[in-house]
Amino acid sequence: METIRIGGLELRFLRTKDETGGGLDLFEMTVHPNARMPVPHYHETWDETIYGLAGITTWTVEGRDIEIGPGQSVFIPRGVVHGFRNATQQPADCLCILTPGVLGCGYFRELAALLSAGSPDPARIKETMMRHGLMPVPAA
């Protein structure tokens, strides 16, 4: 199991597109207190399902906040703008299921490398996102 750390996020890959013949990508994600997805985005080629395991994450889906706690889920169809954050003081864990599996670990590895290099270049982050199929959307 590979673990990738990106700021206040930890991703533990359970299955990747390579292991499932493109069927899905499956990972557990820990979102530490006050951590968030820095850029709202959408993807055109996969759907995303989030299942809460512990703590509470807030997912903004098409401008609407949805709190996900243990046993709760949200389905995010392709093309729908979304982001997430942990506005609590406790770490939160969720299971992330991307179908079909087209993303894999590569995007997260690249993003982690960009962010660990100090002051990340927003243009490089945007280019990396887009190259991997995540379309950034400026915050309203």
Q: What is the CATH number of the domain that holds 15?
A: 2.60.120.10
Instruction: Say if residues 92 and 50 touch (Cβ distance below 8 Å).
Output: no
Report pLDDT digits (tens) over 2-35.
899 998 999 999 999 999 999 999 999 999 999 9
* Ramachandran bin of 99, using left for φ above 0, alpha for ψ from -120 to 50, beta for the remaining angles: beta
Domain interval for residue 109 = 2-136
Judge if pTM exceeds 0.85: yes
Mean pLDDT computed over every residue of the chain: 93
Contacts of 88 (CB under 8 A, 6+ apart): 33, 55, 56
Total domain count, the chain = 1
- In the numeric block, which tokens belong to residue 116? 């660990």
Residue 139's pLDDT is what? 65
How much of the chain, in percent, has pLDDT values that exceed 90?
79
pLDDT tens string 100-130: 999 999 999 999 998 887 777 888 889 999 9
